[in-house]
Each structure stands twice: as C-alpha cells, then as structure tokens.
Amino acid sequence: MHIPTGVSVTRIADLMLSHPNIPPNMPMLLRFVNNILISMYLPKPQNKVTSLWLIHTAMRVVDMCPIKKPYKVVGTLQKGLSV
C-alpha cells in the first residue's frame, strides 16, 4: 500500500480534521490521519511545524469527541499518535 507523504498531504489531513461539517469519529478519516501520522515519522526539519499542527489537531479531536466515543477515536489514532 502506498501512503503519500509530505507537507501537502499533512495539511490536507489537518484541514479535513478541522472542518466543522466532518464528524471527528468518522472511521475512514481517522484511519487516513493515522496513516499520515505514521508515514511522517521522523519528519524532515522543514516538515516539523506542519507535522506538529496535525498532531495538535488530532489531540483536539480526541478532546472534543463525545464522552462515549473517545476510546474509538484514540484506538484508531493510537499507532499514529504513539510514533
């Protein structure tokens, strides 16, 4: 499976997570973000800021998800956030 990397894909993932009309518990979107987080580790120096923004946005999604669903969100993003 090819996982595109780079600043543009990281920005797209960040924008998709930040969009108010996309539910944060959407499994496909969360798997996409998880794959991006995994593929961008260890970020190149020029990509660090963009990578940190995506991590920050993913953490905000976890904070804002409904009380009954954080385990699903964290479970989906677990590998990407732990890298």
* Number of domains the chain contains: 1
Average pLDDT over residues 37-41: 80
Angstrom distance (rounded) from CA 45 to CA 65: 31
**Structural domain contains residue 14:** yes
**Structural domain contains residue 2:** no
Of 56, 58, 54, the C-alpha closest to 24 is 58
Given this model, what pLDDT does residue 2 score?
A: 53
Of residues 79 and 31, more confidently modeled: 31
Domain that holds residue 35: 7-82
**Structural domain contains residue 25:** yes
- Cβ-contact 6, 50 below 8 angstroms: no
Given this model, what pLDDT does residue 52 score?
A: 84
Angstrom distance (rounded) from CA 42 to CA 44: 7
Average pLDDT over residues 14-38: 77
Among 26-30, 40-44, 64-68, name the one with the lowest average pLDDT: 64-68
Cα atoms in the 13 Å half-sphere on the side-chain side of 57: 23
Q: Which two tokens stand for residue 80?
A: 């990407």
Q: Which two tokens stand for residue 49?
A: 């800021």
**Structural domain contains residue 76:** yes
- Evaluate if pTM is beyond 0.75: no
**Structural domain contains residue 27:** yes
